[in-house]
Amino acid sequence: MDIFFFLVFAAIALISAVNVVLQRHPIASALSLIGVMGSIAVLYLLLGAEFIAMAQIIVYAGAVMVLFIFVIMLLNAGAEVRRGRSWTSQLLGIPALLAFVGLIVLFVQRGFADAGYVKFGNFTGGSAQSVGLALFTSYLLPFEVTSVLILVAILGTIVLARKEMD
């Protein structure tokens, strides 16, 4: 059952990721990226990280991607013009990409062959309570630093994107 859900959502993630790279219109890429994020959130649930899964949907799919879609709609970004590609580059490039991916699969499989299995329910340390406890005790300093980072990012964004008042 675990393998079935993993294969389904990994397939959705891979197809959406390929779609992000291959689609010409930015809105189609953005919607495919939302699909990737959603399926990765389900994979997090399978890995027992329930808080991070919901944070992924709330922050990434629900806020960051809305920002992307707003910018695409406001800038009226159109579809990319498909330029001519040389046949040799496609003929050499696609087998090279597949060989590269195959090498990655081989090395990861060989390196992590006995790393254990992921069964739904065998890791319960991903609840909101354990994440919150770790964030506010062992990782308190990075947490406060990231809040300063967010403040700086807000200031930078407002300064960059405002209309010049002369």
Partner 1 sequence: MPEALQALNNGVPIAWYLILSAVLFALGVAGFLFRRNIITVFMCIELMLNAVNLSFVAFSNQHKLVSGQIFTFFVMVVAAAEAAVGLAIILTVFKNRQTLNIDEINSLKN
Partner 2 sequence: MVFVIITLIKLALIAFILLTVLAYLQWVERKVIAHVQVRMGPSRVGPHGLLQPLADVIKLITKEGVMPPHVNSFFYLLAPFLAVFMALISISVIPFGTQLTIGPYTTMMQLTDVNVGILVILAISSMGVYGIALAGWSSNNKYALLGGLRSSAQMISYELPMSLAIASPLLIAGTLSLREIVNSQAGYNFGILPKWLIFAGPFPQIFSFIIFMISAFAETNRIPFDLPEAENELVAGFHVEYSSMTFAAFFMAEYANMVTVCSIATLLFLGGWHPLWPAAYGSNFVAPLILFVAGAVCIYHGLNPARPLDRYTLPAFGIIFFGLAGVMLVPFLVPILMPLFWFLAKCGFLLFVFVWIRATLPRFRYDQLMGFAWKGLFPAALLNLLITGFLVALAS
Catalog residues that contact partner 2 under the rule CB under 8 A: 27, 31, 34, 50-51, 54-55, 57-58, 61-63, 66, 69-70, 73-74, 127-128
Q: Which of residues 135-154 bind partner 1 (CB under 8 A)?
A: 135, 139, 142, 146, 149-150, 152-154
Rg (CA), the chain: 21
Q: Is 26 in the site for partner 1 (CB under 8 A)?
A: yes
Q: Which of residues 95-124 bind partner 1 (CB under 8 A)?
A: 97, 100-101, 104-105, 108-109, 111-113, 115-120, 122-123
Whole-number Å distance between alpha carbons of 66 and 60: 9
Residues in the chain: 166
Whole-number Å distance between alpha carbons of 42 and 149: 28
Q: Is 17 in the site for partner 1 (CB under 8 A)?
A: yes
Whole-number Å distance between alpha carbons of 132 and 50: 12
CB of 135 to partner 1, least distance (A): 6
Binding site partner of 141, from partner 2, partner 1, none, Cβ cut-off 5-8 A by kind: none
Whole-number Å distance between alpha carbons of 166 and 163: 9
Question: What one-character DSSP code corresponds to residue 85?
Answer: -
